[in-house]
Amino acid sequence: MTQSDVLILGGGYAGVYAALGAARARGDAAIEIRMVSGEPDLVNRPRLYETEPGPHMRYPLKTLLDRIGVELTVAWVTGIDLDARTVALADGRTLAYGRLVIALGSAMHRPAIPGIEHAFDVDTYDAALRLDGHLRALPAGATVTIVGSGFTGIELATELAQRFKVVLVEQADVLAPSLGDGPRQAITHALEHLGVEVRLGTRIEAIDSAFTTVWCGGLLAHPLTRALPAERDPLGRLKTEPSLAVRGLAGVYAAGDVAHAMSDETHPALMSCQHAIKLGQFAGHNAVSDLLGNAPLPYQQPIYRTCLDLGAAGAVLTEGWERRVLMRGPDAKALKREINTVWAALPSGDDREALLAFGEPGASPYRRTT
């Protein structure tokens, strides 16, 4: 059995930044940090709506982790034994831990609708490749139905509108209900400009394999969260203390899409990469601080911005929980490209100290190490 002082479950944005935060907080102390990831790469999940997904959206984890002194185990996690402080892997191995950071992410929620298995999605790299292969076989102008007008649904609809007739279905009576009133006018104008047909107040009752349907419904936290004796929110996220320690679970921290954490006094963090990064920084830092007997830092994320891609219609940048529009059109589109290709890439470079700076709680991922 392999023993690690800090064991991080998940190789997405929360897991990577938890590793950076833990390695930075460790300093010269003899603390072993290990990440367990089902994939050898971090997948740039925010880009999977783009045309032609491929290897340019994957970044090898081992390269970064080797440079900051973090071990990597590539395997799928199948169970957590809180009493024994061990984690079971699909290949039969067992890993022991002193402190545990759960950063296993989320998955698309597929409700029990007849034919739901025929719907495509872009929730994972493999799913995006399957959709891309299917779309390549369709004639130009074919109809593609997208269900859900959240962030992913809007970005996918505007991306595909240049090649296909897109029908965007939303069960709510307003467009993009989760995105608020701020950007709605810009989104509406973009969809009209691109010729996307919008059907509001429409509930899907069944899906036929003869038609191309892409499901962009909501997300749920990794199912392992439901096996733990802890408080959870309706999305399955583990409720945490300000330190990101999971309430009632000794030595366990949560980050990213599995964490219900308050980013300020009134708003819980969202299932988004910008929140996952900072949640990871704080969780990794505090897991090591706990081992060293140091006081934890309370998680906070007072700045909240979104940049929504609108395809050929540009993009829209918003700020704050009220999503006040700061920028739209070509300038916002240029920023979106930078976010997708620079911000969402792994920190790079050979300078170990510069890399560890990304783990500072609250540090911006825009700082590069090229």
For residue 151, the 8-state DSSP code is: H
Q: Are 290 and 301 in contact (CB under 8 A)?
A: no
Mean pLDDT for the stretch of residues 306-320: 96
Q: Which helix (H) or strand (E) holds 259?
A: strand 259-260
What CA–CA distance (Å, rounded) separates 339 from 252?
31
User: Which residues have a Cβ under 8 Å from the Cβ of 33 and sit 6 or more positions away?
Assistant: 4, 5, 6, 8, 19, 22, 23, 26, 69, 70, 71, 288
Report DSSP letters for 76-92, one per residue.
-EEEEETTTTEEEETTS
Residue with tokens 């072993």: 32
The first and second tokens of residue 243, run together, are 């330190």
Q: Which of 183, 149, 192 is nearest to 315 (CA)?
A: 183
For residue 227, the 8-state DSSP code is: G
Asked, colleague to colleague, whether 2-108+219-302+347-359 and 116-215 share their fold, the answer is yes
Helix, strand, coil percentages (3-state) for the chain, rounded to 5, are 30, 25, 45
What was the pLDDT predicted at 369?
38
Residue 219 dihedral angles phi and psi, to the nearest 5°: -110, 155
Question: Quick one: 227 exposed, middle or buried, by C-beta within 10 A (0-12, 13-18, 19+)?
Answer: exposed
Q: Which helix (H) or strand (E) holds 169?
A: strand 165-169
- Domain 2-108+219-302+347-359 falls in which CATH fold? FAD/NAD(P)-binding domain (3.50.50)
User: Which residues have a Cβ under 8 Å from the Cβ of 117 and sit 6 or more positions away?
Assistant: none
Q: In sequence order, which ranges of the chain are alpha helices (DSSP H)?
A: 13-26, 61-67, 125-136, 151-160, 184-194, 273-292, 330-338, 352-356
What was the pLDDT predicted at 2?
81
For residue 291, the Cα-to-chain-centroid distance in whole angstroms is 28
pLDDT tens for residues 249-306? 999 999 999 999 999 889 999 999 999 999 999 999 999 999 999 999 999 988 889 9
Question: Quick one: 149 exposed, middle or buried, by C-beta within 10 A (0-12, 13-18, 19+)?
Answer: buried
Is the pLDDT at 370 greater than 70? The verdict is no
What was the pLDDT predicted at 364?
79
Given CATH 3.40.190.10, say whether it is the number of domain 116-215. Answer: no
The first and second tokens of residue 298, run together, are 């309370």
What CA–CA distance (Å, rounded) separates 273 from 54?
20
Domain coordinates in residue numbering, the chain: 2-108+219-302+347-359, 116-215
Q: What is the largest CA-CA distance in the chain?
A: 63
Within a 13 Å sphere around the CA of 110, how many CA atoms are in the beta-carbon half? 17
Question: Quick one: 225 exposed, middle or buried, by C-beta within 10 A (0-12, 13-18, 19+)?
Answer: buried
Q: How far apart are the first and last CA of the chain?
A: 38
pLDDT tens for residues 132-188? 999 999 999 999 999 999 999 999 999 999 999 999 999 999 999 999 999 999 999
pLDDT tens for residues 53-97? 999 999 999 999 999 999 999 999 999 999 999 999 999 999 999
pLDDT tens for residues 219-260? 999 999 999 999 999 999 999 999 999 999 999 999 999 999
Q: Are 101 and 8 in contact (CB under 8 A)?
A: yes
Model confidence at 104, in pLDDT bands (50, 70, 90)? very high
With b for 16 or more beta-carbon neighbours within 10 A and e for fewer, the 253-284 pattern comes to bbbbbbbbbbbeeeebbbbbbbbbbbbbbbbb
Q: Which helix (H) or strand (E) holds 310?
A: none
